Amino acid sequence: MTKQNATADVSIRTRALRSTALGVTLSLVAGTVMAQDVTTTHGYNFFGSLAYGPDFEHLSYVNPDAPTGGEISIWAQGTFDSFNNYTRKGRPGALATSGHEDLLTSVADDPTALYCNLCTTMEYPEDLAWVIYNLRDDVTFADGRPWSAQDLKFTFDLFMEQGLPSFRAAFGAMIASVEVLDTHRVKFHFQPDSPPRDRISLSGIFPAFSESWFNETGARLDESTLVPFLGTGEYALESYEINQRIVYKRRDDYWGRDLPLNIGRGNFDQIRVEYFGDSTASMEGLKAGVYTFRMENSSKAWATSYDFPGVTDGHVIKTELPDGRLAQPQAFVFNLRREKFQDRRVREAIGQMFNFEWSNESLFFGLYDRVESFWGNSDMQAKGIPEGAERGLLQTLVDDGLLDGSILTTEAILPPVSGTRRLDRRALRRASALLDDAGWEVGDDGLRRKNGEVFTIEILESSPAFDRIINPFVENLKALGINAELDRVDPAQDTQRQRDFDFDMTTHSMRQTYEPGSGLLQWFGTEAMDQSTRNLMGLSDPAVDSLIATIVAAETQEDMKDAVRALDRVLREKLFWVPQWYKNVHTVAYYDQYEHPDPLPPLSLGHLDFWWFNQAKHDALIASGALR
C-alpha cells in the first residue's frame, strides 16, 4: 500500500515525469559549440550526453502509430474545491495542471536530461551566467491566443509576486531577472552565486501562462479557483461536479500535436476522474464499470478483491508491470517541531514498535520490501561503512563538530528487524530501555511520563485503508506505555493540518530524483522547515545543510553521487522517519480496451501519456455487458 491516490503517480503529456517545482534538478550541456563559447542546443544534460539528437522522429518507447480516440477513466479519493495547485488555499482537483505545459520537459528513458518543449533551442555560455530560449512561434492557448516571450516574463514575475514563499526564496536566489529580447526570444539572467548545475533546469520549469488572460480575469496565483488558468496543453477542462468527477478533453486545435516529442502520446480523446470517499467504495466502482483503470495501492485488495466476474471472465486485466524507478521512501515521519520528538532515543524507541515483518506477512501478503534508503534501487544508496570520497566528506563534518565520529565506523543504519509476532518482545525491551534513558518513566497506571506530562502520540491519517496498518502499531506503542491513537480525518482536514504542521506523526512520501540538486533544500533544508510541506518533519540540521550544499555544487557526477551517499547515510542516522514499504512493480487493473507499448520504459507507467484506446475491444465489452 502506497500513500497516494490513483492519480498521484501520473501526469499529462510533457509533465509526465516532471517532479514538482523544486524537485526538478536535471542538468548539463549538449549541442554544438558556437562562437564566443556559446552553446546552442535542443536539450540540456549537465552530466552527460542526450539520448535524442536534434532530428529525432519520436521517443523510442512510444507507438508512433497509436490510434487516437476513446476515454480512459481513473479514480481519486476525497474532495476538491479548486483547480489551482500553486497555492496552499483549497484542495486542488486531480490532474489540475493537465492543461499546462512547461518550457522544458523530461522523458521516460533519459532521466537526467531536459528537452526543448515550448522552445526550439536554447543558448548559453560556458559559465552558465544566462540562457536564451528561442521560443516556438506557433504555441497557442486553448482559446487561440498566441504565447510570447512577454508571457513567459509575466509568468516569472507572477510566481515571484504571488508564489509560495519557499518558491520565491529559492527562485529569487537562482534567477536575477528575465529579459524579453523579442517576441519569441527571452533571456534568463542567473544570480552569480547560484549553483550552476541547477540554473537552466529550474528556469525551464515555468508553465505557459497568458498575461492578457490574467489581466482580463483578475485571477491570482495565491487564491483557490474553480476556473483553471488558461493553458497551452493538449488537454483542457471540459466539465466537473464538485467532489464527484472531473473530465478533461483533448483539444482538436492543440498546437503541438505533430512535434516529435508528442508523437504517439496524448492518445485519449477524454480523461475522466471519478471521486470516491475511500478505496473500498472505489473498488466497487471499478467492478461496476464506473471507471476503467485502477492503480492498486492496497496489498490486501490486490490479493483478495480481484475475484469478481470482470476479472474471472477476462473483461478486466489484472497485471503487474515493471517499475524501475527509485524505491519510493515512504515512511511515518515525526514532527520534530514538537519537543517530545527532539530526543533521538525517543524516535528510535518508537521506530522499534513498527513491526514490518509481521505487517508484511499478516497484512500485505508478502508483497512488499522494506524501505531502507532515500535513494533505494540505485547506486546512490549508502551501504556498509563509508569509504573513499564519501568518508572524506563525513570526516570533515566530524572534524567540524557537526557529526559524531561513530558515523565513520558504523554501517549505514537499516530499519530494525522484528519477529513474526505482532509485538516483538525483544524490540519492546530495547524500546523500553531507550525511553527509560530519555527520562520517560512508567507510572503505576502503565503510562510513561516526564515532568508530569503523559507521553501521547496521535498518528494523523485520512485513508481508512491504513486503519489495519496503524492500529497494530498503536497497540504496540501502548504496550510500551505510550498513550497512542489513530487520528483519522477527512482528506481536506489532512491536507490543511499538514500545511499547518499540526500533527505528531503522519505518513510522508519523499520521492527523490536521479540527479538531486536544489530541490533537496525543500525536502531536508533548514530554511524550508517551516515553509515547505516537503520538509514535513521539520528537519533542521547543519550537517544535512552542509551536504546539500556540497551536492548542489558538485561539478562531476561521481562527486554528486559520493555526496548523495553521505547525505543518505546522515538522513537515515537522524531517525526522523519510521520507514514503511515499497514494491518494484505497478499493480494495475483495467478493462480490456487499452493497449500499451511493450516493453514499457523503466521510469514511467504512462497510462495517461502513451497508452491508447482499442475501439474494437471496447465494442466487445459493450456487447458482452461488461460495460455500459
CATH number at residue 420: 3.10.105.10
Give bridge partners of residue 608 from the DSSP assignment.
none
Whether 620 is in a domain gets the answer no
Cell (9 digits) for 172? 529569487
Render pLDDT for 498-548 as a digit per residue (tens, 0 to 9).
999 999 999 999 999 999 998 899 999 998 898 889 999 999 999 999 999
pLDDT at 388: 98
pLDDT at 15: 36
Beta carbons of 149 and 135 less than 8 angstroms apart:
yes
Could you tell me the pLDDT band of residue 406, with boundaries at 50, 70 and 90?
A: very high
Q: Is residue 186 scored above 60 in pLDDT?
A: yes
pLDDT at 171: 85
pLDDT at 166: 75
Whether 533 is in a domain gets the answer yes
Whether 450 is in a domain gets the answer yes
| Unique residue bearing C-alpha cell 525491551 | 429
Nearest to 484 by CA among 470, 497, 494: 470
Q: Max Cα separation, the chain? A: 81
**Percentage of the chain surpassing pLDDT 90?**
89
Beta carbons of 626 and 289 less than 8 angstroms apart:
yes
From CA 295, how far away is CA 7, in angstroms rounded? Answer: 8
Give the residue numbers spanning the domain of 494: 330-582
Render pLDDT for 219-240 as a digit per residue (tens, 0 to 9).
999 999 999 999 999 999 999 9
Q: Is residue 590 scored above 60 in pLDDT?
A: yes
Q: Is residue 115 scored above 70 in pLDDT?
A: yes
Task: Give long-range contacts, CB 8 A cutoff, 24+ apart: 157-164.
Answer: 158/209, 158/214, 158/221, 159/86, 159/206, 159/221, 161/221, 162/220, 162/221, 162/222, 163/86, 163/221, 163/222, 164/86, 164/87, 164/88, 164/531, 164/532
Mean pLDDT over residues 280-288, rounded? Answer: 96
pLDDT at 36: 52
Number of domains comprising the chain: 1
pLDDT at 164: 85
Going from the C-alpha of 77 to that of each of 42, 238, 318, 496, 600, the distances in angstroms are 39, 20, 21, 16, 27
* Secondary element (H or E) of residue 279: helix 279-287
Which backbone phi and psi does 556 adopt, to 5 degrees? Answer: -125, 155
Beta carbons of 418 and 358 less than 8 angstroms apart:
yes
Render pLDDT for 13-59 as a digit per residue (tens, 0 to 9).
333 333 333 333 333 333 444 445 899 999 999 988 999 999 999 99
| Unique residue bearing C-alpha cell 466476474 | 309
Whether 7 is in a domain gets the answer no
Mean pLDDT over residues 363-373, rounded? Answer: 95
Mean pLDDT over residues 473-485, rounded? Answer: 98
Whether 233 is in a domain gets the answer no
Could you tell me the pLDDT band of residue 3, with boundaries at 50, 70 and 90?
A: low
Whether 6 is in a domain gets the answer no
pLDDT at 11: 36
CB atoms within 10 A of CB 619: 12
Distant-in-sequence, close-in-space partners of 382: CB < 8 Å, separation ≥ 6: 373, 390, 412, 565, 566, 568, 569, 572
* Secondary element (H or E) of residue 594: strand 594-595
Q: Is residue 378 scored above 80 in pLDDT?
A: yes
What dihedral do alpha carbons 393, 394, 398, 402 form, nearest 10°?
90
Beta carbons of 565 and 304 less than 8 angstroms apart:
no
- Written as one letter, the residue type at 103 is L
Residue 131 vs residue 527, higher pLDDT: 131
Q: Is residue 551 scored above 90 in pLDDT?
A: yes
pLDDT at 472: 98
**Percentage of the chain surpassing pLDDT 70?**
94
Mean pLDDT over residues 597-621, rounded? Answer: 97
From CA 213, how far away is CA 145, in angstroms rounded? Answer: 9
Fill in the DSSP letter of residue 19.
P
Mean pLDDT over residues 611-623, rounded? Answer: 98
CA angle 563, 580, 487 (to 5 degrees): 125
| Unique residue bearing C-alpha cell 495547485 | 85
Cell (9 digits) for 467? 486503519
pLDDT at 12: 33
Going from the C-alpha of 612 to that of each of 72, 75, 76, 405, 622, the distances in angstroms are 9, 18, 21, 56, 18
From CA 283, how far away is CA 104, in angstroms rounded? Answer: 37
| Predicted TM-score of the model (pTM) | 0.87
Nearest to 418 by CA among 356, 347, 331, 330: 356
pLDDT at 2: 60
Q: Is residue 559 scored above 80 in pLDDT?
A: yes
Whether 236 is in a domain gets the answer no
